[in-house]
Structure 1
Amino acid sequence: MVQIQFYSLLRLLLKQEKLELPAVENETVGQLLDRAQQSIDTPFLDKMLDCDGQLHAGTIILINRYNIRHLDMLDSKVSDGDVVAFFPPGAGG
């Protein structure tokens, strides 16, 4: 299983803290994002990705506490037992 944890405004939007999905061999973070969206009725990908499917500035995704910006971005591999945290860009003002 892969555990997805939602933080900040995503948690409020989705009204849930986490989601567990069966692990898929050689799955990337980008594929996991798509699969998570298919499992949840409320649209949330637009909060994390731009119209080209790239991370919005400020979006943070961690795999076992490692930022994917320091790995292979959306091509980072996710494995059975991983914990993946989704943080949308923060808002301020």
Structure 2
Amino acid sequence: MTAEFSKDPVFRERMKREARTAGRLQEPHVVPIHDYGEIDGQMYLEMRLIEGTDLDTPAQAFRSAGPAAGGGPSSARSPPRSTRPRRRGDAP
């Protein structure tokens, strides 16, 4: 956490509370928090390292693809047929 946030007493308490709560989660799609603390006045979270790319890489590719490729807002007035709500038993 940044030094600025680490100095804020409200933020510090919120971080401790949320770290304790999140540390109890055991879900396959949630990065586990092993520990939290403070070093030289700066708060930290100790989490499992997840190998792979950061989210900026695919997000940038998505944005640069443009609306025609599904990479941004579209001016279409109705959603594609596959995303329209259907009643049970209706054909796709």
TM-score, normalization by structure 2: 0.26
- As a proportion of its length, which structure holds more helix? 2
- As a proportion of its length, which structure holds more strand? 1
- Flag the structure with larger Rg: 2
Looking at both structures, which has the greater relative contact order when contacts are Cα pairs under 8 Å and sequence separation is at least 6?
A: 1
